[in-house]
Amino acid sequence: MKPFISTTGLLVTQDVRLMDTMNHVMNILDVHTTVCMDIDKALRAIEKKHYSCVVLDWQSSNDSDKVLHALRNSQLNKDAFTLALVKKNRDFEAALKATANMVCYKSEAYKQSLKYLKPGREQAPQQRREGVRHSVQWKAQISNVAGQNNEALIIDISNGGIALQTKMQVKKDDTVKVSFAVPGDGYRAIIATSRVKRCTPEGEIGLQFSFIPAQQKTMLEKWLASDLFNQMNTVQTNKRFDQFSKVA
């Protein structure tokens, strides 16, 4: 079995049985694991050492979100793949808002936990660059630095950027502005200054957001979290354990 990106992992939990399970899983994935039983020790560990993956038992503390915020603000660990283990439905949304890559219900069965961590081997770098992609069909306007405007259709969106279809001619690294509306009541317009990361002859363009006004960014993030939470609720029609995992 291929190793998990690199060889370092952080496990944050006070649950001894879960600790045994996840240590076994990480050994299978060839991940050398540091275990922290309280949040303060985890925060200090994040400051000092690089980790390729972090498994966070959400019930370890009332401040579990601090671990994820510390990771994303860390130069060493901002790209770490994070798995949050929760016991309650309401914790799903909290963990997703705190930028966990994957959220699922706690299991002490090592085969189940192994299934949750294995996707990180392929997904970790891509997930953290762009976040989870939400498929949409939103109309938009795109404009370039010369003031030219064109219609566009957004086909997916994340915290970090969008993919869209347009007839406007652009090149990689061009700066453009995209205007679109987030579904919901009231004024929901967003104007995002963006950088072209990829473009195809067929008119599909990948954009990375470089600036969105703070209030608009918050509105977008709330919609993304709500949409992902609604997707999970839709999935939860079968109470089997493995129905409750979601990449974020």
Question: Above 60 in pLDDT, residue 120?
Answer: no
> Where among 98, 115, 130 does a domain terminate?
130
**Per-residue pLDDT averaged across 48-61, rounded?**
88
Answer yes or no: is 233 within a domain: no
- The verdict on 81 and 107 lying in the same domain is yes
**H-only helix segments in the chain:** 16-28, 39-48, 65-72, 89-97, 110-117, 120-130, 214-235
45 and 124 fall within a common domain: yes
Per the domain annotation, does 245 fall within a domain? Answer: no
- 213: CATH: 2.40.10.220
What's the domain range around 100? 8-130
Domain end point (choices 112, 130, 148): 130
pLDDT tens digits, residue range 1-43? 343 344 688 999 998 888 888 877 777 777 788 999 989 999 9
- Residue 91 CB burial class (10 angstroms; 0-12, 13-18, ≥19): middle
Residue 194 in tokens: 């963006």
Mean pLDDT of 158-186: 91
Look up residue 154 and give its amino acid: I
Same domain, yes or no, for 89 and 125? yes
Does 247 reside within a domain?
no
**What was the pLDDT predicted at 194?**
96
Look at residue 102 and tell me if it is in a domain.
yes
Domain count of the fold of the chain: 2
Q: Is residue 61 helix, strand or coil?
A: coil
31 and 85 in a single domain? The answer is yes
What per-residue confidence (pLDDT) applies to 108? 61
pLDDT of amino acid 205: 94
Q: Residue 148 carries which DSSP code?
A: -
238 within domain boundaries: no
Dihedral of CA atoms 134, 140, 141, 142 in degrees, nearest 10, equals 20
Q: Are residues 175 and 122 in the same domain?
A: no
Any domain includes 61 = yes
Residues 139 and 217 grouped into a single domain: yes
> Does residue 212 sit in the same domain as residue 98?
no
Q: Looking at the domain assignment, is residue 161 inside a domain?
A: yes
